[in-house]
Amino acid sequence: MEYYFQTNCAAKSSEWTDELHELQLMFGVKEFMVIAPATASGVVLDVPEASKLLSSVAIALSNCGSIWPAFVPVHDPTREAFFGIQNMGTIFTRRFDADRIRSQVPIKLMHLEGLHQLFLSKFGLYATDFSTNFLKVKFLMRLTYITPPFDGEDDAQVREHEVSQSPGKKDIQTYIKTIWDDDYPWSNWYSAEDPLKGFELTAIWSEHTVDDSLEMEELENASVFEAEKWLLSPVLELNMTDDPMGHFIGFSSQLRLLVKALDASFEVKFIEDLITDGNPASVPSPSVLDRVLKGLFHDGQIPDRQHDHGIGGTIKGAPLGSLFAQFCLNALWFGNCNIHAIAVLWIEFVREVRWCWEESQPLPRTMTNGRIDLSSCLIHQKLQMLAICIGKKGVKRDVNGNSSVSDVDKDPPIMTEDMHEERLQAVEAFGDEFSFSALLEREILSSDMSAFKAANPDAVFEDFIRWHSPGDWESVENEERSSASESVRMKGDWPPRGRLSARMSDHGNSWRKIWDESPSLPASEQKPLLDPIREGEKILHYLETLRPCMLVEQMISSAFKASLDTLSQTSYGDLKQMKLKIEQLYKTISTSLKPLRGNIVADRAELIGDLVRLCAVFEHVEKLLIFAASIRHKLADATRLCEAIFSDFYNYYLPKMGTGSSNICYDKVFKSKQLIKAHEREVIISLFPHPTANQSWRKVLSMGNLLNGHEPLTREIIFLAHDGATDDQYGRNVPRGSPGEVCTHRMYVCGTSNDLQVALSVTSWD
């Protein structure tokens, strides 16, 4: 025995409330009870036995003053049939009967006219005249349409390209199937399953009075635009909400594999050991390897930094589009990102880099603006330095000694992060007398002074100050020179009158000391502050001898950053919750990856655990972003609906992301039903394209109420017949306080062309 209560007694009752129980919708009751046998079928197969059971229950409920209806499931379980009874005080008794047809429905009952006649036939048991002139039937209807799903054979889902042939041959058409996410940034790496399979459109006709069956026929051919209310609800892919963690395929799944590779890399000292000890089946074929390398080195372009996310700069990884960032993204999908496949790809990657060095070919996907991005990972810095060295190695130097900009202007030394640290350690070894910045400034200043002396043999210290540091030269105006003749002025005013600043005039000034010690030597003959040959070979040695764990650590930082940078380029409109989640994920990644910046991992197990949890957070945001892109793509012209549906899904999905209220059931079904405004109806209609010729022959349309040629998924109808409690078939003696009008007959119909459910309730006078 089970009891059901009305969910919200204070709310205004509605025939189409989604929270209604199946029996509440079928029979229009509130509280009720169901009595079912404790058997495998859960139904009473013997109809007389069910009638006796209901009679006993009705007497028991009447004796205790209860007016609850009671139901008993009968017949075969697949029919979902019920018998029921309700004692409505001492005046009325309501009886219930429901059954279902799960086969071909009679053609007459597929149309509203036939259903109306079926309802009228239920009055045949009474002697009173129930002609249509006497009886007014009230009618409510709810139609549910579902947008047509993608079908690879449908003409509407392919692009047709006509290919002209030579004379005498007919034109042929090639069909290319379109994928929903072709234009999204992640499509270069994987194809995501559309989380939004479609929409359900619910059109509701409020209560109407029907005079005859012909009027029902007109309603069947009426436009859906005549419905008083339209509601839209999304249909989600099952894996979007019920898929366990780790089954989703995307950046997050591959990052999880990369973390697993990091755990394995701590056991190996040399990259080459991973090739000799690896399973050949875990490494892709040479053709796949060649294709990846070709994409990296031959199809590469200079990265566009305008797509970099501002907060992403706190993640110490290679920028999106750079050579190492692209290497990391390719490694995620190469050989399922196992440590052996990474080793093979890295060795071939370094060989290609060495070829560029030896052949003096520009390093692809590497910006050469003369600066090193110290906020990036060390491997990216090394590749930037190598690109600069390749450029300097091919530059022809001016050996003529002519005065030029190159003679007096020398590039400052360029250093990577580890070079800065080495130099700082060397300075600290001499004690506190020197500082790193002072030593670096002295070398640059001495080089500039030597070049200036070579370009200007008669120059003095004051000349160099006027050129190099104009702020340290104070000009003096001499009024007596204003009376000089014009001929004297034509001879020039050299040397300029003035004096050194107080800082440069001090006794023992370091700049003057450096000037005195600096030889006259053109910049072209000076020992370069950066030896491109030496530094280039050092960089290649670093890349070739890099330990596996240090490689994968930097790959993780760059892969997380590049993956999120790629996803953040997705167009999802003005969805503030999505923007907030992306910004939060950038901060979370930056914080979680800080332990990788050191060369020593304190707790390996703790690090791997933190990275696995970070992958889970990344997966949640990635799935949320794909949903945002899908809803934005489909409802681009209905911004309000797009934002409302996403907000509902965000609030539903939030507990799954480890935030939100802890008492929310994670397994609850996602529900979102948005009221469509009048100006939004045309946008929704566009989601239902007319069936193509390829679709039309597949089934014969048997029902009415078509929407652009599409039948409703379900059609639900409620017929109501009311009768005043006066001089009628119930008798004259009506007690006071009884309702002025009683719903004597109610029939709920839900059906399609091959499924029909009918539930009837009849109120009688006892």
First-to-final CA distance of the chain: 27
Do 92 and 742 form a contact (C-beta atoms < 8 A)? yes
157-166, 202-211, 245-254: which has the minimum mean pLDDT? 157-166
% helix / strand / coil in the chain, to the nearest 5? 45, 15, 40
Predicted confidence band of residue 136 (pLDDT cuts 50, 70, 90): confident
517 contacts 446 by C-beta, under 8 angstroms: yes
Instruction: Compute the distance between CA of residue 415 and CA of residue 397 in angstroms, rounded to an integer.
Output: 22
- Higher confidence at residue 284 or residue 401? 284
Assess whether pLDDT exceeds 80 at residue 133: no
Q: Which two tokens stand for residue 728?
A: 């009628």
pLDDT value for 701: 55
Instruction: Tell me which of 36-40, 198-202, 303-307, 463-467 is least confident.
Output: 303-307
Cα→Cα distances 345→119, 302, 349, Å: 74, 22, 6
The predicted pLDDT at position 738 comes to 45
Q: Which of 178-182, 391-395, 442-446, 755-759 has the highest mean pLDDT?
A: 755-759
Give the Cα separation of 394 and 396 in Å (integer).
6
Q: How confident is the model at residue 609 (pLDDT cuts 50, 70, 90)?
A: very high
Please tell me the predicted confidence (pLDDT) of residue 245: 57
Going 433 to 439 to 445 to 451, the CA torsion angle's sign is: positive
Q: Tell me: the pLDDT tens digits for 78-94?
A: 888 999 998 877 678 88
Question: Do the Cβ atoms of 313 and 248 come closer than 8 Å?
Answer: no
The predicted pLDDT at position 154 comes to: 45
> Could you tell me which of 336, 326, 254, 259 has the C-alpha nearest to residue 619?
254
In single-letter form, the type of residue at position 508 comes to: G
- Two structure tokens written together for 21: 């129980």
Q: How many CB atoms lie within 10 A of CB 426?
A: 12
Model pLDDT, residue 504: 84
Mean pLDDT of 117-138: 65
What does the pLDDT average to over 640-654? 93
Question: Can you give the residue ranges of every domain in the chain?
Answer: 1-102, 251-365+547-628
Residue in 558, 181, 504, 533 with CA at minimum distance from that of residue 357:
533
- Verify cis geometry, omega within 30 degrees of 0, for the bond prior to 691: no
Cα separation, 343 vs 269, in Å, equals 12
* Cα 536 from Cα 539, distance rounded (Å): 5
Write the pLDDT tens digit of every residue in 209-252: 888 878 888 888 888 999 999 999 999 987 776 666 557 889 99
What pLDDT sits at residue 498?
A: 84
pLDDT digits (tens, 9 = 90+) for 326-353: 999 999 999 989 999 999 999 999 999 9
pLDDT of residue 11: 43
d(CA 120, CA 273): 85
**Confidence class of residue 398 from pLDDT cuts 50, 70 and 90?**
very low
Tell me the percentage of the chain whose pLDDT exceeds 70: 77
What is the number of other CB atoms lying within 10 angstroms of the CB of residue 641?
A: 22
Q: Pick the residue with more confidence: 306 or 523?
A: 523
Structure-model confidence comparison of residues 598 and 509, the more confident one = 509
Q: Are 258 and 336 in contact (CB under 8 A)?
A: no
pLDDT the model gives residue 19 = 79
| pLDDT of amino acid 437 | 57
Indicate if the pLDDT at residue 108 is higher than 70: yes
Report strand pairing: 714-724 vs 741-752. antiparallel
pLDDT digits (tens, 9 = 90+) for 278-315: 677 788 999 999 999 999 998 766 666 555 656 767 89
Q: What is the pTM of this model?
A: 0.79
Mean pLDDT in residue range 189-197: 91
Helix spans in 456-509 (H)? 461-468, 486-490, 502-505
Identify the pLDDT of residue 352.
96
Tens digits of residue pLDDT in 32-72: 988 888 787 778 777 788 888 888 888 888 888 788 899 99
Instruction: Summarize pLDDT for 557-589 with one digit per residue, the tens.
Output: 999 999 999 999 999 989 999 999 999 999 999
Q: What is the mean pLDDT of the chain?
A: 80
367-371, 394-398, 743-747, range with the lowest pLDDT: 394-398
CA distances from 337 to 246, 260, 273, 314, 320 (A): 15, 9, 17, 25, 19
Please give the average per-residue pLDDT across 746-755, as a whole number. 89
Specify the amino acid at residue 226. Answer: E
Mean pLDDT of 356-362: 93
CB crowding 668-706: b at 16 or more within 10 Å, else e: eeeebebebeeebbebbeebbbebeeebeeeeeeebbbb
Given this model, what pLDDT does residue 45 score?
A: 75
- In this prediction, residues 737-758 reach a mean pLDDT of 80
